[in-house]
């Protein structure tokens, strides 16, 4: 299809699609109104685009069409996929060979829950498009999860309609650029109304897209403050991973992952699951990369990000990308999903940053306001020691020094079991400095292999991560 200049309004976008002779498809919507198809009808000339609309609002009707959900939940990704599968297959079964040869079939579906009458829930849902880019070609999928932030049911429904039109338009006309698709999703809505915290591209025309990078772009472009992906690189919806879980989080640069980072993760985890408030069979451990920590040389390098993601995934880590520079903000974010214990593993140097009052100048209550969230009833920090490379002194919670006016606050947290030293930390790793390891990797000098786990060393060498330089010594390097 010809790519036109992007229209300014949802009505203009819908009308452009309606007037285009190629796209033709079905709309299936559950809950939160049926606003997406409605916008196409209101734009005019909908007969050129709309093959069918359906809203199986009643659960019995929905089950008879799409089959039951084992979980009993209808606002979930599996429901969305069943809707897309059925509607797209019906299009091809009934209309292939009937429609003109230039027809590009698509199926749009969403399953949403808006605010209830008493406003005691959160508006959110799943939305996706299955579509062809060439006649008779295999289709692609673009799927998103969104949160509706308006405090009014009608406004939430209207926002769903806008995002649905934006998504269909982007898939049809901006498919050559995932960046443009992402940037266009909030047109005429804005981040104050909608948050998109998961997005997945699949299909033959998107086979070169790394969805981990899409997660980064969602956060970097302000569509959400945090996004999640799993050990296989599969993007995840945060509430489905964190809901009612004990959560342990480790924040770091992971550039690269050294024995210090893996020891922090292992020993912190072992200590966390022994806590009396933690169910060891209900724990999610995540490694967090913040946008600040991703700025290698003042700006985010996508290859550098993927190198770090590759290493974390190779170690079986679930990765959270966030725009939460301050620890109290990421704790507040995780607290949206669970009332269970949240553990934070961090180094003693990061503990110094937490007590830096300059971070909290924008808060009316300053450091005390932030600490009311950071050290709430179900949050505890597990602190990894640090070693002064010049003096050899090892700093722990017991000899940690603060300005005098913060000492009593610190002692209160320590005595009330909000801070705890990691007891089984391997002190022999404290001589490892990640910046030094990175320098050796980039300059092709030997020695760094002994400072990182074997899996990490293998990945760096085989995949040439972090601009790994194959120097003359490398021919004698043993693969781990």
Residue 29 is part of a domain; what is its CATH number?
3.90.950.20
Closest among 34, 226, 31 to 123, alpha carbons compared = 31
**Is residue 29 domain-resident?**
yes
**Is residue 4 domain-resident?**
no
Tell me how many domains the chain contains: 3
Q: Are residues 120 and 171 in the same domain?
A: yes
**Is residue 397 domain-resident?**
yes
**Is residue 21 domain-resident?**
yes
**Is residue 161 domain-resident?**
yes
Residues 368-385: tens digit of each pLDDT: 999 999 998 799 999 999
Is the distance from CB of 204 to CB of 138 less than 8 angstroms?
Answer: yes
Distance CA 422, CA 345 (A): 9
Q: Are residues 347 and 440 in the same domain?
A: no
Range of the domain at 64: 10-209
Placement of tokens 């605010």 in the chain: 115
Distance CA 103, CA 116 (A): 40
Cα-flanking dihedrals φ and ψ of residue 201, to 5°?
-105, 130
Q: Are residues 293 and 315 in the same domain?
A: yes
Q: Tens of pLDDT along the chain (480 residues)?
A: 544 455 579 999 999 999 999 999 999 999 887 899 999 999 999 999 999 999 988 889 999 999 999 888 889 999 999 999 999 999 999 999 999 999 999 999 999 999 988 888 999 999 999 999 999 999 999 999 999 999 999 999 999 999 999 999 999 999 999 999 999 999 999 999 999 999 999 999 999 999 999 999 999 999 999 999 999 999 999 999 999 999 999 999 999 999 999 999 999 999 999 999 999 999 999 999 999 999 877 789 999 999 999 999 999 999 999 999 999 999 999 999 999 999 999 999 999 999 999 989 889 999 999 999 999 879 999 999 999 988 999 999 999 999 999 999 999 999 999 999 999 999 999 999 999 999 999 999 999 999 999 999 999 999 899 989 765 344 444 433
pLDDT computed for residue 323 by the predictor:
96
Residue 268 is part of a domain; what is its CATH number?
3.40.50
Closest among 98, 155, 97 to 123, alpha carbons compared = 155
Distance CA 94, CA 54 (A): 16
Distance CA 67, CA 231 (A): 30
Distance CA 350, CA 422 (A): 14
List of residues 6+ apart from 176 with CB closer than 8 A: 3
pLDDT computed for residue 88 by the predictor:
98
Q: Are residues 369 and 452 in the same domain?
A: no
Q: Are residues 203 and 306 in the same domain?
A: no
Q: Which of 209, 224, 251 is the last residue of a domain?
A: 209
Distance CA 412, CA 432 (A): 32
Alpha helix ranges (H) inside 143-281: 153-173, 178-184, 211-220, 238-242, 259-272
**Under DSSP, is residue 14 helix (H, G, I), strand (E, B) or coil?**
helix
Distance CA 347, CA 254 (A): 13
Q: Containing H/E element for 367?
A: helix 366-374
Is the distance from CB of 25 to CB of 106 less than 8 angstroms?
Answer: yes
Q: Are residues 171 and 247 in the same domain?
A: no
**Is residue 325 domain-resident?**
yes
Beta bridge partners of 110: 29, 127
pLDDT computed for residue 471 by the predictor:
55
Q: Are residues 403 and 437 in the same domain?
A: no
**Is residue 141 domain-resident?**
yes
Q: Are residues 423 and 283 in the same domain?
A: yes
Give the other-Cβ count within 10 Å of 13's Cβ.
Answer: 26
Distance CA 312, CA 314 (A): 5
Q: Are residues 274 and 192 in the same domain?
A: no
What's the CA angle centered on 239, arms 237 and 245, to 5 degrees? Answer: 125
Q: Are residues 132 and 252 in the same domain?
A: no
- Please report, in angstroms and rounded to a whole number, the separation of the first and last CA atoms in the chain: 50
pLDDT computed for residue 70 by the predictor:
86
Closest among 244, 231, 324, 240 to 286, alpha carbons compared = 231
pLDDT computed for residue 470 by the predictor:
63
Please report how the helices 211-220 and 302-314 are oriented relative to each other, as an axis angle in degrees rounded to 10. 120
**Is residue 252 domain-resident?**
yes
Q: Are residues 335 and 423 in the same domain?
A: yes
List of residues 6+ apart from 231 with CB closer than 8 A: 313, 315, 316, 317, 318
Give the other-Cβ count within 10 Å of 349's Cβ.
Answer: 10
Q: Are residues 270 and 366 in the same domain?
A: yes
> What Cα–Cα distance (Å) separates residue 249 from each residue in 252, 272, 374, 381, 424?
10, 11, 13, 10, 18
pLDDT computed for residue 58 by the predictor:
87
């Amino acid at each position: 299809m010809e790519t036109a200049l992007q229209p300014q309004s949802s009505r203009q976008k819908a009308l452009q699609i309606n007037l285009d002779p190629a796209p033709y498809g079905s709309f299936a919507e559950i809950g939160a109104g049926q606003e997406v198809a409605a916008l196409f009808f209101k734009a005019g000339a909908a007969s050129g685009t709309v093959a069918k609309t359906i809203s199986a609002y009643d659960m019995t009707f929905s089950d008879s069409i799409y089959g039951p959900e084992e979980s009993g939940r209808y606002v979930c990704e599996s429901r969305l996929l069943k809707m897309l599968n059925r509607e797209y297959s019906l299009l091809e079964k009934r209309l292939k060979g009937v429609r003109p040869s230039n027809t590009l079939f698509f199926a749009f579906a969403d399953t949403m829950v808006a605010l209830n009458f008493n406003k005691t829930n959160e508006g959110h849902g799943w939305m996706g498009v299955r579509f062809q880019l060439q006649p008779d070609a295999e289709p692609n999928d673009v799927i998103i999860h969104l949160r509706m932030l308006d405090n009014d049911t009608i406004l939430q429904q209207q926002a769903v309609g806008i995002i649905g039109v934006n998504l269909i338009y982007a898939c049809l006309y901006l498919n050559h650029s995932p960046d443009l698709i992402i940037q266009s999703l909030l047109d005429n809505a804005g981040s104050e109304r909608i948050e998109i915290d998961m997005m997945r591209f699949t299909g033959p025309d998107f086979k070169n897209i790394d969805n981990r990078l899409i997660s980064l772009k969602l956060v970097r472009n302000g569509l959400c403050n945090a996004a999640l992906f799993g050990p296989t690189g599969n993007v995840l919806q945060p509430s489905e991973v964190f809901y009612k879980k004990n959560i342990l989080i480790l924040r770091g640069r992971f550039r690269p992952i050294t024995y210090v980072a893996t020891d922090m993760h292992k020993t912190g985890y072992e200590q966390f699951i022994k806590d009396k408030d933690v169910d060891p069979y209900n724990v999610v451990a995540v490694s967090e990369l913040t946008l600040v920590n991703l700025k290698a040389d003042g700006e985010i390098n996508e290859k550098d990000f993927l190198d770090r993601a590759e290493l974390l995934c190779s170690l079986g880590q679930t990765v959270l990308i966030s725009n939460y520079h301050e620890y109290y903000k990421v704790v507040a974010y995780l607290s949206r999903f669970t009332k269970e214990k949240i553990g934070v593993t961090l180094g003693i140097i990061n503990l110094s940053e937490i007590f830096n009052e300059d971070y909290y100048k924008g808060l009316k209550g300053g450091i005390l306001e932030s600490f009311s969230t950071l050290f709430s009833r179900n949050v505890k920090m597990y602190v990894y020691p640090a070693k002064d490379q010049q003096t050899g002194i090892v700093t722990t919670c017991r000899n940690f020094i603060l300005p005098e006016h913060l000492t009593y606050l610190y002692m209160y947290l320590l005595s009330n079991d909000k801070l705890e030293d990691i007891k089984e930390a391997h002190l022999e790793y404290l001589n490892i400095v990640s910046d030094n390891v990175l320098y050796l990797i980039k300059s092709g000098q030997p020695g760094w292999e002994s400072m990182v786990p074997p899996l990490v060393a293998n990945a760096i060498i085989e995949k040439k991560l972090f601009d790994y330089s194959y120097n003359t010594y490398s021919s004698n390097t043993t693969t781990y």
